[in-house]
A = this chain, B = another copy of it.
Amino acid sequence: MNQQENIVLKPIGIVRSPIKEVADDCWGGVLATIELDPQVFSPECTLGLDQYSHVEVLFVLDKISQDEIEKGARHPRGRPGWPKMGIFAQRSKHRPNRIGVTACKLESVDGLHIRVRELDAVDGTPVLDVKPYLKGFAPRGEVLEPAWAAELMAGYFR
């Protein structure tokens, strides 16, 4: 592979959330606001967004320090009862580049303020992008996953 240059990104905004501490579960009742940067954006950047039910939010898991990042394999959640999986075979926070992607229910849109439900990011998290959820981008074909994945997710959006 050719040597690749670093990618420098500027957050488009920040998460305002009642959740102040990193958590593994129970994002179901959370109502958060994405505040877009008023130095860069005007309200028309969200024009028509309220016509969708869901958005995908891309954010930086910046509470995870560099030395907590896994580059190999580990048991999800550190649970020895679940099989050891490569970091790209799980959605652990402790991943290279520390980017989270979550489909959230859109609650309301008011110019530079986007209200969402079930965003699994703590207060102050930098946001890299907000994309509307299009049905056409859902996985094509049947989705298969290992058994422990459903067990892990059982409490995630509770």
Chain B contacts for A101, CB-based, 8 A: 56, 58, 101, 131
Kindly state the interface size class of chain A when it binds its partner. Answer: 35 or more
**A85 neighbours in B (Cβ, 8 Å):** 47-49
Query: A127 → chain B, closest Cβ, in Å?
Result: 9
Task: Answer whether A45 and B88 are a contact pair too, CB < 8 Å, given A101-B131, A129-B97, A129-B99.
Answer: yes
Q: Which of A125-158 contact B (CB under 8 A)?
A: 126, 128-146, 149-150, 152-154, 156-157
Point out the residues of chain B lying under 8 angstroms from A36, CB to CB. 88
Within 8 A of B (CB), among A1-28: 1-2, 4, 6-14
Within 39-86 of A, Cβ neighbours of B (below 8 Å) are at 40-42, 44-49, 51-56, 58, 60, 71-73, 83-86
Among B52, B118, B137, B149, contact of A146 (Cβ-Cβ < 8 Å)? B52
